[in-house]
Structure 1
Amino acid sequence: MSEINYGYIVDYIRALHTPPQNPILAEIETAIAMGDETWPIIKPEVADFMKVILFMVKPQEILEIGTAVGYSSILMSECLAEGGHITTLERFPYMLKQAEKNIKKAGLEDTIKIIVGDAAETLLTLPSEGYDVIFMDCAKGQYINFLPECIRLLKPNGILITDNVLHKGAVAKSRYLIERRQRTTHSRLRDFLWTIMHTPELKSSVLPFGDGIALSYKIGGTENEN
Structure 2
Amino acid sequence: MRNEMMHRPVIDENILNFLRHQQQPLTGPLKQFEDEVHAQGVPVIPHETVNFFRVLLRILEPQAILEIGTAVGFSAIMMALSTPDTTKITTIDRYDEMIQAAQANFKRFELTQRIELLQGDAVDILPTLKPTYDFIFMDSAKSKYVTFLPRCLELLSKRGILLIDDIFQGGTVLQPLSTIKHRNHGIHKNLNKLFATVFNDPTLISSVLPLGDGLLLVTKK
Q: Same fold (TM over 0.5)?
A: yes
Contact in 1 for aligned 2:143/2:186 (Cα 8 Å): yes
- The runs of at least 4 consecutive aligned structure 1 residues that moved more than 3 Å come to none
Identical-residue share of aligned pairs (%): 37
The aligned amino acid for 1:28 is F
* Count of matched residue positions in the alignment of Structure 1 and Structure 2: 215
Q: How far apart, CA to CA, are the structure 2 residues paired with 1:141 and 1:33?
A: 25
Q: CA deviation at 1:2?
A: 4.4
Aligned-residue Cα RMSD (Å) equals 1.5
Contact in 2 for aligned 1:204/1:217 (Cα 8 Å): yes
Which residue matches 2:109?
106
Which residue matches 2:70?
67
Which residue matches 1:84?
87
**1:102-160, Cα deviation, whole Å (9 max, x unpaired):** 110101011111011110000000003x1000000001001000000100000111100
Q: Which of the numbers 36, 49, 52 marks the counterpart of 2:52?
A: 49
Q: CA deviation at 1:33?
A: 3.9
**1:70-112, Cα deviation, whole Å (9 max, x unpaired):** 0000111123234110000011000001100111010101111
Which residue matches 1:40?
43
Q: How far apart, CA to CA, are the structure 2 residues paired with 1:59 and 1:50?
A: 12
Contact in 2 for aligned 1:60/1:82 (Cα 8 Å): no
Which residue matches 2:13?
7
Q: Which of the numbers 199, 217, 220 marks the counterpart of 1:218?
A: 220
Contact in 2 for aligned 1:197/1:205 (Cα 8 Å): no
The aligned amino acid for 1:171 is V
Whether 2:190 is the aligned partner of 1:185: answer no
Please report the TM-score for the alignment, with normalisation by the length of structure 2. 0.92
Structure 1: 5+ residue runs without aligned partners? Answer: 220-226
Q: How far apart, CA to CA, are the structure 2 residues paired with 1:33 and 1:125?
A: 34
Q: Indicate the SS of the match to 1:86.
A: strand
Q: Does the C-alpha gap of structure 1 residues 33 and 153 become closer, same or farther in structure 2, counting only changes over 3 Å?
A: closer
Q: How far apart, CA to CA, are the structure 2 residues paired with 1:33 and 1:217?
A: 31
Q: How far apart, CA to CA, are the structure 2 residues paired with 1:139 and 1:33?
A: 20
Q: How far apart, CA to CA, are the structure 1 residues paired with 2:191 and 2:43?
A: 19
**1:183-202, Cα deviation, whole Å (9 max, x unpaired):** 11101001111211122221
Matches within 5 A, 1:111-190: 111-128=114-131, 130-190=132-192
Q: Does the C-alpha gap of structure 1 residues 79 and 175 become closer, same or farther in structure 2, counting only changes over 3 Å?
A: same
Which residue matches 2:98?
95
